[in-house]
Amino acid sequence: GAGVSQTPSNKVTEKGKYVELRCDPISGHTALYWYRQSLGQGPEFLIYFQGTGAADDSGLPNDRFFAVRPEGSVSTLKIQRTERGDSAVYLCASSQTSGSSSEQFFGPGTRLTVL
């Protein structure tokens, strides 16, 4: 009965480096979402997967951000050439179906700090 898990819980990196953030959704959940939460703000949508494919990546801020879900389960959010403005908590959520009324279950997040 595990929930959504995210690793690492904290990541500190230097400006210009590459980082990968991992999300393990609830088993059997077909939809997976990434959000970014900056200090003092609500989460902002980044990307949504239905199965293996990115159904909506309209929230990705620029081409330094990329996400994959190759087997329709675990997802990795990849950030190239990190900038200080990328510092935030990155949240992952999953839902059983992609229906718009379907509840999204959130993980604890990865806190990314770019020095």
Partner 1 sequence: AQSVTQLGSHVSVSEGALVLLRCNYSSSVPPYLFWYVQYPNQGLQLLLKYTTGATLVKGINGFEAEFKKSETSFHLTKPSAHMSDAAEYFCAVKVGGASCSARQLTFGSGTQLTVLP
Residues forming contacts to partner 1 in the complex (CB under 8 A) are 3-4, 31, 33, 35, 40-45, 48, 55-56, 58-59, 91, 93, 98, 100-101, 103-109
> Which C-beta is closer to partner 1: that of 43 or that of 82?
43
Query: CA–CA separation, 38 vs 40, rounded Å?
Result: 6
Query: CA–CA separation, 24 vs 21, rounded Å?
Result: 10
> Which C-beta is closer to partner 1: that of 83 or that of 103?
103
> Which C-beta is closer to partner 1: that of 14 or that of 56?
56
Query: CA–CA separation, 96 vs 112, rounded Å?
Result: 27
Q: Which amino acid is at 99?
A: G
Nearest distance from C-beta of residue 86 to partner 1, angstroms: 19
Residue 67: Cβ-neighbour burial (10 angstroms; 0-12, 13-18, 19+) = buried
Nearest distance from C-beta of residue 18 to partner 1, angstroms: 25
Nearest distance from C-beta of residue 3 to partner 1, angstroms: 7
Nearest distance from C-beta of residue 66 to partner 1, angstroms: 18
